[in-house]
A and B are shown apart, each in its own frame.
Chain A
Amino acid sequence: MRTSMSIFAGLLFLAATTASGQNYQQAMGSALGEFAQAKTVEDFRNAGNKFVMIANAEPAEWLPLYHHAHCYIMMSFFERTNPEKRDGYLDEAAISIDKMVELAPDQSEVFVMQGLLYSARLMIDPMTRGQQYSAMSAQSIGRALGIEPVNPRARYMQIANEMGTAQFFGNDISASCEKAQKLFDEWADYTVKSSFHPQWGREQVAEVLRQCSSRN
């Protein structure tokens, strides 16, 4: 009798965790689908809402926080007119990023997102924020590369920063282009840990290469 009771309890637990696991899989899948389709501030907000809900249900997971921050950074990019709103979205992203840094300081991607946040802050007012935030962004990307030197998103951000500076000074960008080409060719070699892990970046590198080929 005792055996059957423990089997019963075990089964109940299994059922419950499977249900939750299924829910996590399902919710992440659907939210990431929404993110991939998002075209407006509102779309990103709605996707972000889902990630908040997931983050609340799974407080030990850093991935929902990551995607939530990504949504709000995208909102700041898509909001074109009101700089205060843009900063407001980034404040929201920063909350998730701070939580992630606490939760998963060993994850390279966490610092890529932090670097992206600082670049987004910079873009709101490059004249006055340039110095401070370019240094902060470079530092975060450096940290991401320190943890995982092959991280393609960290490599992309580094190349984009380098190239931006070179273009501003009218310097030759061929070194950056070579790096971008190498990154593009090697992109598929990087093993994504799961379908919920970050995968963005390839398009952005392709865009860099388009700029490279149109420069002549």
Chain B
Amino acid sequence: MRPFINISNLFLLLFLVSGAFAQTTINGTVKDNKGEPLPGANIYLKGTYDGVSSGLDGSFSFDTHTSGRQVLRTDFLGFESFEQEIDLEVGILQFDINLKEKFNQLTAVTITAGTFEAGDEHRSATLNSLDMVTIAGANGDIYGALQMLPGTSSNPESGKLFVKGGTSEESQTYIDGTLVLVPYTSSPPLTSTFGRFDPFMFKGTIFSTGGYSAEYGQALSSVLQLNTNDMPEEDELNISLLTVGAGIAGTKKWNTGAVRSSVNYTNLKPYMAIAPQQYDWNHPPEYFAADVSIRQKTGSTGLLKLYANFNNSFMSLNRLDLNNDKKLLAYDLKNDNFYLNGSWQTTMGKDWIYRSGISFTENNDIIDFDRVNFRETLRGVHQKNLFIHQLNQKVIIRMGTDFFVKTFINDFTQDDDNLLVDYSEFSGAAFTEAEVYLSNKFVMRAGGRAEYSDYLNHFNLSPRFSAAYKFDDHMLASLAYGRFVQNPLNSYLIYSSNIQPERADHYILTVQSSKKGRLFRSELYYKNYDDLVKVNSDEFYLPQAYDNSGEGYAYGLDIFWRDRKTIKNAEYWISYGYINAQRDFRDYPQRAIPSFVSKHNLSVVYKHWISPIRSLAGVSYKFSSPRVYHDPNLPGFHNRKTIPFHSLDVNLSYLHRENIIFYLGITNLPGFKQEYGNRFADLPGEDGIYASEPIVPGADRFFVVACFITLSKRGDLNQMDKIQ
């Protein structure tokens, strides 16, 4: 049989197959919704080699030999890709394509009311993670750094956070979503404290000074969310040597996990021997801290984090006993703190994320003062479940539960008498919240939280609402409303379960404008407090001494200006807060301005990178207007004012080699006089006058010199992020 085709036909056939298709010309224009041409858009027949980029006027034209049904696709960065099925026929086809701007949650409007975010996850963040630790005067303390932001009132005799007219107890700290019951180190009354956690543990910080999500409860004033680092980059050993102590940390990494462990020891004795002190220490503060953190990837998307931290401190301070002929008395304070945090996150399917976390705290303060031995124990567990569901591109739903178990024990011994009081509470909460993007420019978040406490036998509901609108690429406005509830102080609950949680309503309006490295932000707020606990009798150990008849308010204006542009190699910010607050609570005889509120708070932070000497220099200035305090020798309540507070702090980080950094920090360089009012005797003396003593800081100035060394296989990693 003769072959169907011979060799000569073969070439003809080849030619026919590849060249037989007739030509089609496709042309048109690509424009956006507003009819503006989009130059550089990619127009092509999907799966073929036929296509072209649009020209300056958005027009395009290309030829194709393909035939039949094809998909014409148009791509342009920042816009939704457009696909259209077309029938190719010989001749000219015309398409005018309109692309829709792509919705992108990362660049879409975000709710900024009340919130300062530091981290690299959102590029629009107000601060980045380094900012937290390079502020002069903060000395690497997270809470010290936050006190350079608007909305905070500085109370240097405490060192804790006081936000928008709230007490320090109204501010809560969460690590990876679970509560930290005791975030500060222990210190004697009227001396300054600082945070227990190393700021370098965290990749992101969100400081919310009001109007926060329903995910967070048990905080009337503010929530600090600290999110720990994921996997480390490589193995390393970090050594730190300071004038006040030393530390070492090691990181070991493997394919699916990592472990990091550190030990730190701090002792102020050598420092205090050379620097003049205003306090009379028997035993200057001595701290020991050890921690370990473990990271393990689970499956393809899961990450398990475990963190355990053990802290121990001891100090002994000689204090004037104002009640007893001004005799010197030793105040001994010993603290043991154990904190454990575990969290696990995984994705479930395409649209669900599940996060689970558990934290455990045990804190013991043991105080010996005069003939009294006082032991306070706080033990608590927080378990949290959070589900995040991306319903569609524009709707995110968050829901979850919280369970808290808490035990608080006070054990007094005076001479041979012993008194032990305690209470335990179990409480549960459920929350849900929906975030709806109505467009790239407009987002709303609404939700609520229900809580129940078995000890208080009380159930409450707190609604939350916030929204933001973006006027253009630079300016946005957001508002927030929320009801917030928090259990009364442990020291009240231990004597009474006949009281209810305290309550605050927040109303916040924020306008923010940012352009090319400059940011301006102003925030107006009003807070209404109700059901605050009052102590109506000196017999504090009786349940009937307590009721919820307290109330109060706070309103104010916060201004924040940050500029990373004007001065080359430098940046600065100015933060100012005005506040007006009054409340009637605790043992106040009447409504009054609280002693922790200063009407005007100003801070200026400046940092300059000096390239020739590879150093980052920083200067900070802080001012707080006088606060009120109570002088029992005068008529009225909160009848005196402190002197205004000023501090000028400087620091310098010098990058000596790739892996060695030297650091110098001086707090209150000019030695401004700092005094926070007076403390008084409990009873008047024979002359009818209450004895008193000024409340002062431990020293006029504080300085620290440090050296940080990093050893890694590469040798050029350093700890610049540790202090820069």
A positions within 8 Å CB-CB of B? 1, 3-5, 7-8, 11-12, 14-16, 18-19, 22-24, 26-27, 42, 45-46, 48-50, 52-54, 56-57, 84, 87-89, 92, 127-132, 134-136, 138-139, 165, 168-169
Contacts and interface: CB of A to CB of B under 8 A. Distances in A.
B295 to A, nearest CB: 16
B4 A1 contact: yes
A117 B657 CA distance: 26
A49 B53 contact: yes
Contacts of A18: 14, 18
A128 B130 contact: yes
B53 A46 contact: yes
A57 B47 contact: yes
A125 B131 CA distance: 14
Contacts of A26: 49
A7 B13 contact: no
B48 A168 contact: no
30 contacts: A1-B4, A4-B4, A11-B10, A15-B17, A22-B18, A23-B49, A46-B40, A46-B53, A48-B42, A49-B40, A49-B53, A49-B75, A53-B44, A53-B48, A53-B49, A54-B49, A56-B44, A56-B46, A56-B47, A57-B47, A84-B107, A88-B77, A88-B78, A132-B120, A132-B233, A135-B717, A138-B714, A165-B658, A168-B614, A169-B614
A50 B43 CA distance: 10
Given A165-B658, A169-B614, A8 B17 contact: no
A138 B713 CA distance: 11
Interface in B23-66: 39-42, 44, 46-49, 51-53
How would you classify the secondary structure of chain B's contact residues: helix, strand, loop or mixed?
loop
A49 B13 contact: no
A136 B658 contact: no
A129 B5 CA distance: 67
Contacts of A165: 658, 716
B13 A139 contact: no
B294 interface: no
Contacts of B1: 1
CB-based closest 5 A-B pairs: A4-B4, A15-B17, A49-B42, A135-B233, A46-B53
Contact of A42 (B3, B18, B40, B655): B40
B234 A135 contact: yes
Contacts of B717: 131, 135
B175 interface: no
B720 interface: yes
Contacts of B75: 49, 52
A195 to B, nearest CB: 17
B610 to A, nearest CB: 13
A77 B47 CA distance: 30
B44 A11 contact: no
Interface of B: 1, 3-5, 10, 13-14, 17-18, 39-42, 44, 46-49, 51-53, 73, 75, 77-78, 107, 120, 123, 128-130, 233-234, 609, 614, 655, 657-658, 714, 716-718, 720-721, 724
A135 B48 CA distance: 40
A182 to B, nearest CB: 21
Given A56-B44, A128-B128, A139-B233, 14 more contacts: A4-B5, A8-B4, A14-B14, A15-B18, A23-B48, A23-B49, A26-B49, A49-B40, A50-B53, A52-B75, A84-B123, A92-B77, A135-B234, A135-B717
A11 B234 contact: no
B658 A53 contact: no
Contacts, number: 105
A138 B49 CA distance: 36
Given A8-B5, A49-B40, A131-B720, A57 B128 contact: no
A204 B483 CA distance: 60
Nearest to B65: A19
B128 A27 contact: no
Contacts of B14: 11, 14-15, 18
A88 B10 CA distance: 51
A211 B401 CA distance: 61
A127 B10 CA distance: 66
A5 B18 CA distance: 19
How would you classify the secondary structure of chain A's contact residues: helix, strand, loop or mixed?
helix
A46 B39 CA distance: 10
A26 B48 CA distance: 12
A19 B20 CA distance: 12
Nearest to A170: B614
- Interface-centre pick from B4, B78, B129, B657 (highest chain A CB count, 10 A): B4
Contacts of B234: 135, 139
Given A11-B10, A127-B609, A4 B3 contact: yes
Contacts of B51: 49-50, 53
Contacts of A128: 120, 128-130
B7 to A, nearest CB: 11
A1 B1 CA distance: 8
Contact of B657 (A49, A87, A130, A169): A169
Contacts of A53: 42, 44, 48-49, 51
A8 B107 CA distance: 56
A130 B720 contact: yes
Given A87-B123, A128-B130, A45 B17 contact: no
A24 B123 contact: no
A45 B40 contact: yes
Contacts of B78: 88
A59 to B, nearest CB: 9
Contacts of B120: 128-129, 132
B53 A19 contact: no
A57 B73 CA distance: 12
Contacts of B714: 135, 138
Contacts of A45: 40, 53
Contact of A27 (B13, B49, B233): B49
- Interface-centre pick from B5, B609, B714, B724 (highest chain A CB count, 10 A): B714
Nearest to B717: A135
A18 B609 CA distance: 60
B49 A57 contact: yes
Nearest to B18: A19
A129 B125 CA distance: 14
B5 A136 contact: no
Contacts of A49: 40-42, 44, 51-53, 75
A57 B48 contact: yes
A22 B128 CA distance: 51
A5 B233 CA distance: 61
A216 B78 CA distance: 48
A8 B658 CA distance: 69
B13 A15 contact: yes
A169 to B, nearest CB: 6
Contact of A7 (B4, B46, B130, B609): B4
A165 B659 CA distance: 11
B5 A24 contact: no
Contacts of A52: 42, 44, 75
A19 B17 contact: yes
A23 B18 CA distance: 11
A129 B724 CA distance: 12
A163 B370 CA distance: 65
A1 B3 CA distance: 8
A95 to B, nearest CB: 11
A7 B720 CA distance: 70
A169 B658 contact: yes
Contacts of A3: 3
Contacts of B609: 127
Contacts of A88: 77-78
Contacts of A24: 49
